[in-house]
Amino acid sequence: MTEPMKIVARTSAPIKEVRQALTDPALIREWLAEHARVELPGRYEFWGRYTPEGDAPHQRLLHVDDDTLRYAWTLGGVETTTEFSLAEEDGGTLITVVQTGVDPEAARRGEGIQNVLFTFWYLAVANLVDRVEGRPVTGWCDFAGGELRSEVLIAAARDEVFDALTDGKKATEWFGYPIEIEPFVGGRYAMGGFENDPVGAKIVELEPGRKASVDWGVPGITTWELADSDGGTRLTFVQSGFDRENPPFAAWCGSLSGVAQLRRYLEFPDRRPIWAEA
């Protein structure tokens, strides 16, 4: 039996503001879903293009109080349970999400729509933290469209952003997972490091300060394009070359959650990461 997935994030916002963002349908539409309908204590639903199987709501509210929200969520015919719990920490809030019915290994292989939740929640919670702290969210995964594309503004110089994307030590720091990179065309890009992945993905394009592309094989090609924008950098982030019948949604959600961490790494170098130990 698969153990429940658990992630813990921290925000400087107080519990009251985080709870409001979790339960106010207008705010939910700003960080989680295209559509939301909430009538506590009886109903909690969200759906739309930014939700897996979002053609209709598939949630059933189980419990809600001042610091806990729990609901059943059926995906791919499998009923899972999602629970948010909030706790005060140094004037801010610890946000804990526990998700049942998720197999991380199946998520990495792109198997089973419910397993998308393994990375979906990292992206959604990163968006939630940015929303309650008054920052633009990183973006969403469009489960209804055929294009995996996002564009974000980063308050850092273009060369700094490019360096953080292509220097393995820095990428490890902001992503929170070992990454080794050979920064040249034909070089390797290894999640987990070369010891765990000696072949790695392949860098197929590299234009210093402006563009880089990495070929992951079946999941397709990741491309980062950078441009100056009002003293900062506009990062355009695209996944292409994948099987359109089986888009790599789990990988894309994980990549976007990484971009959220990249933004914080460059814009708040002295601030603690949002992710705490689960």
Residues 146-183: pLDDT tens digits? 789 999 999 999 999 999 999 999 999 999 889 999 99
Which whole number is the average pLDDT over 49-61? 97
Write the CA distances from 23 to 16, 45, 83, integer angstroms: 11, 10, 13
- In this prediction, residue 111 has a pLDDT band, given cuts at 50, 70 and 90, of confident
Which whole number is the average pLDDT over 218-237? 95
Report the alpha-carbon distance of residue 242 to residue 274 in Å, rounded: 31
In the predicted model, is pLDDT for residue 187 greater than 90?
A: yes
Which whole number is the average pLDDT over 46-62? 97
Cβ atoms 154, 164 nearer than 8 A? no
Write the CA distances from 159 to 203, 208, 209, 225, integer angstroms: 18, 8, 5, 12
Q: What does the pLDDT read at residue 10?
A: 96
Segment 75-84, tens digit of pLDDT: 999 999 999 9
Q: What does the pLDDT read at residue 51?
A: 97
Q: What does the pLDDT read at residue 199?
A: 92
Q: What does the pLDDT read at residue 113?
A: 87
Q: What does the pLDDT read at residue 183?
A: 96
Report the alpha-carbon distance of residue 56 to residue 73 in Å, rounded: 12
Q: What is the mean pLDDT of the chain?
A: 94
Contacts of 195 (CB under 8 A, 6+ apart): none
Q: What does the pLDDT read at residue 194?
A: 93
Helix (H) or strand (E) holding 97: strand 92-99
Tell me the three-class secondary structure of 189-226, residue by residue. Answer: EEECCCCCCCCCEEEEEEECCCEEEEECCCCCEEEEEE
Burial 41-52 (b: 16+ CB within 10 A, else e): eeebbbbbebbb
Cβ atoms 202, 214 nearer than 8 A? yes
Q: What does the pLDDT read at residue 138?
A: 94
CA angle 248, 254, 255 (to 5 degrees): 85
Straight-line distance from the first to the last Cα atom of the chain, in angstroms, rounded to the nearest whole number: 19
233 DSSP β-pair partners: 154, 228
Q: What does the pLDDT read at residue 278?
A: 54
Q: Record the tokens describing residue 143, joined without a space.
A: 């489960």
